Amino acid sequence: MRLIGEISVVWLPVTDLDRALDFYRDRLGLSENRRESAWAELNAGGLRIGLNAREEETQGDGGAVIAFQPHGELNEAVTQLRNDGVEFVDGVSEHPWGRVAAFHDPDGNSLQLYEPHPGS
């Protein structure tokens, strides 16, 4: 059974959302699809790039996060992956934009399963 449908979004943690938008939107020319207090979403030729504002003191090592949209329901995909030995960071978390289940690949790269709320 195929669990992953498509890449939903690649997001980057940023410490200054306005500065990041100036770079990605104004300098690189990506179009802004959406903006909230701590989140902005840009279009890069059909791939959604998310900018996730973080407090500087909570900033980790940085780096991109690939968020996959599962085939079917998020909880079913999480259960199947757990049964296959994948460890999830905190289970499923709820956000204004959708539900997320964070995990890592064998090299420690950050990955997520992402289920947007209807209309997101």
Give pLDDT, residue 96: 84
pLDDT digits (tens, 9 = 90+) for 20-34: 899 889 988 889 999
Cα(113)–Cα(102) distance, integer angstroms: 6
pLDDT digits (tens, 9 = 90+) for 7-65: 888 988 888 899 889 988 998 888 999 998 889 999 988 888 999 887 654 445 567 88
Counting the structural domains of the chain, the total is 1
Which residues does 11 contact at the CB level (< 8 Å), separation at least 6? 49, 50, 51, 52, 64, 65, 67
Give pLDDT, residue 1: 62
Cα(50)–Cα(35) distance, integer angstroms: 10
Token look-up 């978390």 returns: 93
- Per DSSP, helices labelled H in 1-120 are 17-21, 74-83
> Can you give the CATH number for the domain in which 25 is found?
3.10.180.10
Q: What is the mean pLDDT of residues 65-87?
A: 89
Residue 104 belongs to domain spanning: 4-116
Cα(6)–Cα(115) distance, integer angstroms: 11
